[in-house]
Amino acid sequence: MESELGAVVDALPGLVWTAFPDGQIDYLNQRWSDYTGLGVEESRGRGWQASVHPEDLPRLLAGWRADCASRGPVETPVRLRAPAGTYRWFLFRAHPSADASGQLVKWCGLSTDIDERMQAEEALRASERRFRSIVDGLPILLSTATPDGELDQANRHYLEYFGTTLEELKAREAVHSVHPDDRARVLPVRKAAIDAGHSYEIECRRRRADGVYRWFCLRAFPLRDARGRVALWYRLQIDIEEQKKAERALQLTIDSIPTLVATYRPDGSRIFVNQTWREYSGLSLETASEAERIGFIDPHDAARVNPQWQNSLATGVPFQAEVRLRRADGEYRWHLVHRVAARDESGTIVRWYSVSADIEERKRAEQKAAEAERELQRTIDHIPVLVATYRADGSRLYINKRVREYTDRTAAEDWERTVHPDDIELAESKWRACVASGEQLELEFRVRMADGTYRWHFTRRVPLRDAAGKIIRWYGIGYDIEDRKRAEEELRRSEAFLAKAQRLSLTGSFSFHSATEEFTWSEELYRIFDFQPGVRVTLQLIRSRYHPEDRHVMEETAGGIRRGAAEFDYEHRLLMPDGSIKWVHVVAQASSRDKDGRGLEYFGAVQDVTQRRLAEAALDKARSELVHVTRVMSLGALTASIAHEINQPLAGIITNASTCLRMLAADPPNVKGALETARRTIRDGNRAADVITRLRALFSKKAAATETVDLNEATREVLALVFSDLLRNRVFLRVEIDHDHPLHVAGDRVQLQQVILNLVRNASDAMRDVNDRPRHLLVKVERDKEGGARLIVKDAGVGLDPQTAGRLFDAFYTTKSDGMGIGLSVSRSIIESHGGKLWAEANDSPGTTFSFSLPRLAASETDDRAGEAALTPDVRANTT
Amino acid sequence: MKESRPLLSVVDDDESVRESLPDLLQEFGFAVETFASAEEFLASGRIGETRCLILDIAMPGMSGPDLQRELAQRHHKVPIVFITAHADQSVIPRLIEQGAVACLRKPFSDTALRAALDAALASP
């Protein structure tokens, strides 16, 4: 049985043995012996230990200690040496065998070859180690996380970056070390992705162990189980600091370039704008989308270019346009906008890139240039000059608007056809000659106007040559010289007319240069002096014609010229060759110094006044005859005046005398009445005699009876006499006379009173027809500045007619229907015979003021009362 | 009794005429009123009774011919004898033409005046 059992044990595919807790083996099967090459006996006791790998033996023996038995079976992998010296892994499984008391007595064991397995396991472990080292060696932060995002594993870089252990990190919050500025952005994205279970990618800054933040790109992918639930998150964090730096540098560059940069989505919506754009528009990245709403692009321009932009968006054709863009201050400036599409590998448009360059200055310059050109064109079109250009061959290239408007429209296209038929041949031949020779053309010819009339024109055409001197263009101008032509014609005519006028008026003209003594004589002057026309006129020659008695005139004139006299005006006689005498009147004026300032130039006229001289002589004779006639006539007229003066008292005399006679002839005679009438007769007789006396005094030119007259009193007497008349005429009389002090003058009281009366009557009469204003009359007597007396009679009448005012004091001049026209004339004679003056002035207000002034009374006369008394009888004597 | 005498009105600015003529006319047997101006006469209220008007031609203010026209306009058919000191006779025919009975040049004789008055008072 034992051997049978032994055969079984030996057949088992393993090494079977029993061992004591102290490590001595008491049994081992044949297979052990076969494997180790040690005999059974040789292996018993502690002999077997030589086959066990020294590194494994202690562990094996330790497991067999008695105290290990309580733990049940033990398993230990151990390397056993084969006879060839190689080791193979065996799994030593030992089962404790106890006695009845529970005391370990033996370990029953089976060692099975697990070398294959161990080899495989080892290979796997090596592979895992390699993988781990790779993961740890990757220059990225790797980690895994639980489905709800809690950190699970992290690679070495991860731990090193944050400078801590996995356990420490696990204790931290979910998203640690993220830059505070980025947290708000990162957390929601991450949370949303975890909740939804899809991958996410975020860029953010994370703080390194040394406190420095670096940019990372965070990516997480979920690993799902068979049921599709998230089992694990793989998280990858790539340091993009350098990339970000480059981006920032690029950003800085983009922001710094002085051009508006923007990017657009394929649908045309704006994504990004650079700093320049933002500064220009005054908008931020966030508000850039409002640009269109606030009219960033000038609305007119937007409407204009939008179809083009839409077309570009649809087709991918680059967009280019000039638009006005609104600057932050509201000013629109012209920009050249250029947009190009960026495509991905498949050719799909992913972005539009736009740059806008400020071309305001260029635009302005263009506008200015355009304006200048328009202005030039306008100028050319509107200057009152005909402008044309011609090709080198003389054919016309361009005409300005003026030409088209001005010339005959039907012929405007053919310049030459507008030329007067009489001028065309000359014009064309000259033009051909100029084109051939290259000399400039100057020509006067008649041009047909739009209305068909011809007007004289002047044209000048000059060639423009290239550098080689070849004519490439002709420039021509033309202008109307009709007026000049007419003026020339007019001048010719007026010269002819002047010659005729000189002939008719017997007036010659000359000029004379004082320095050179050169004369220019008109035709008529030659005729007057009877010189051969064209003969050289010299002072000597002129002198030969002077009347011998008038030669001194010539000498005086010569002296005047030497002194530089400004003008001459003299008459002298010429003794003509036939012995006749001519009177000439010479007038000359110095015009100006000549250019050299050496002498004066005189212009003058000489008139043959012989006929006038003769006429004047005849006139003188006639005048003296006329004076006589006038005198006679004056006397006749005066007679009427005298008759009137005399007839008045005479009528009284005769009537009274008749009455007297009848009264005396009555029965009984009315003596009392007759005496009264007789007394009146005598009085009227005296009155008539007074008139005669005064008239005699006037006409005999004898000095008037001189007495001392108080002009104040004399005036008052006159006014008392006429007061009722003035009242009847509704004249308001104002008197300004000093009643307390007499104002003495020497004169004839009656005459002076006649004058005063005359002036007052005239004034009253002048207001007879005045009904629209008060008939004011002022009579004023005052002392004048020279100490004489002045009397003023100022009326508000019809006033003086300036045309006839000069004749006021003429005898027989009157404006009154019933006037004799003798009063003022006589009055003036009276005042002048008193050494005074009588005059009239128009008032500022309506009416006239007549005044007379009388000289101051000599001192000796002032108090000469005796003189007055002595004179009076003489006067009386004259009247009786 | 005096009132039954025919009234003659004398209009003359010359005082000596106004003084002398009434006495003579009274000697002729007329009643006389004198006026220094035409205006005074027009204002007197004696126009109606005046059988004959002895009127000076040249007067300040309204002249004799002016008064003649004024009376004609007022339809007063009083006969007028003009008297004038002016030698100019050219105006006389026109005055006669316009209805004056006579025009006497000063100085005039009492017989000439008498004749003129007779003619005036005889006219219808």
For residue A128, tell me if it sits in a domain: no
3-class secondary structure, A141: strand
Q: Do B85 and A639 touch (CB under 8 A)?
A: no
Q: Which residues of B touch A647 (CB under 8 A)?
A: 85-87, 105-107
Count CB neighbours of B4 within 10 A.
6
Q: What is the pLDDT of residue A780?
A: 93
For residue A512, tell me if it sits in a domain: yes
Burial class of residue B14 (count of CB atoms within 10 Å of its CB; 0-12, 13-18, 19+) = buried
* pTM beyond 0.90, yes or no: no
Contact status of A266 with chain B (Cβ, < 8 Å): no
A738 lies in the same domain as A872: yes
A468 lies in the same domain as A511: no
A663 lies in the same domain as A639: yes
For residue A613, tell me if it sits in a domain: no
Q: What is the pLDDT of residue A781?
A: 93
Q: What is the pLDDT of residue A627?
A: 47
For the stretch B52-79, pLDDT in tens is 999 998 887 788 888 999 998 988 888 9
Domains of chain B, each with CATH number or no CATH: 2-122 (3.40.50.2300)
Which of B24, B25, B39 would best serve as a mutation to test chain A binding (most A beta carbons within 10 A)?
B24
A179 lies in the same domain as A55: no
Number of domains in chain A: 7
Tokens at B41, concatenated: 């006469």
Which of A645, A650, A658, A759 would best serve as a mutation to test chain B binding (most B beta carbons within 10 A)?
A658
A827 lies in the same domain as A725: yes
Partner residues linked to A839 by β-bridges: A851
A288 lies in the same domain as A350: yes
Query: Which of A480, A515, A536 finishes a domain?
Result: A480
- Chain A, residues 705-744, CB within 8 A of chain B, namely 724-725, 728-729
A232 lies in the same domain as A266: no
Q: Do A659 and B19 touch (CB under 8 A)?
A: no
- CA-to-CA separations, B65 to A248, A259, B61, B99, in angstroms, rounded: 127, 112, 12, 11
Domain containing A188 — which CATH number?
3.30.450.20
Q: Which residues of A touch B13 (CB under 8 A)?
A: 725
Contact status of A684 with chain B (Cβ, < 8 Å): yes
Name the residue facing A659 among B24, B39, B58 (closest C-beta): B24
For residue A830, tell me if it sits in a domain: yes
For residue A692, tell me if it sits in a domain: no
- CA-to-CA separations, A748 to A687, A704, A752, A793, in angstroms, rounded: 16, 6, 6, 20
- CA-to-CA separations, A714 to A376, A748, A752, A781, in angstroms, rounded: 91, 11, 8, 10
Q: Do B14 and A652 touch (CB under 8 A)?
A: yes
For residue A373, tell me if it sits in a domain: no
Per the CB < 8 A criterion, the answer to whether A862 and A708 are in contact is yes
Per the CB < 8 A criterion, the answer to whether A477 and A460 are in contact is yes
Q: How many residues does chain A have?
A: 880
Q: What is the pLDDT of residue A827?
A: 79
Per the CB < 8 A criterion, the answer to whether A728 and A859 are in contact is no
Q: Which residues of A touch B21 (CB under 8 A)?
A: 655
Q: What is the pLDDT of residue A340?
A: 93
Mean pLDDT of B116-121: 90
Residues spanned by the domain of A584: 492-608
For residue A743, tell me if it sits in a domain: yes
A113 lies in the same domain as A223: no
Q: Do A728 and B36 touch (CB under 8 A)?
A: yes
For residue A697, tell me if it sits in a domain: no
3-class secondary structure, A144: strand
Contact status of A662 with chain B (Cβ, < 8 Å): yes
Low-confidence ranges of chain A (pLDDT < 70): 1-3, 69, 71, 408-416, 592-597, 618-642, 694-705, 724, 802-823, 858-880
Residue B109, amino acid: S
A707 lies in the same domain as A834: yes
Count CB neighbours of A672 within 10 A.
9
A840 lies in the same domain as A726: yes
A205 lies in the same domain as A167: yes
A803 lies in the same domain as A875: yes
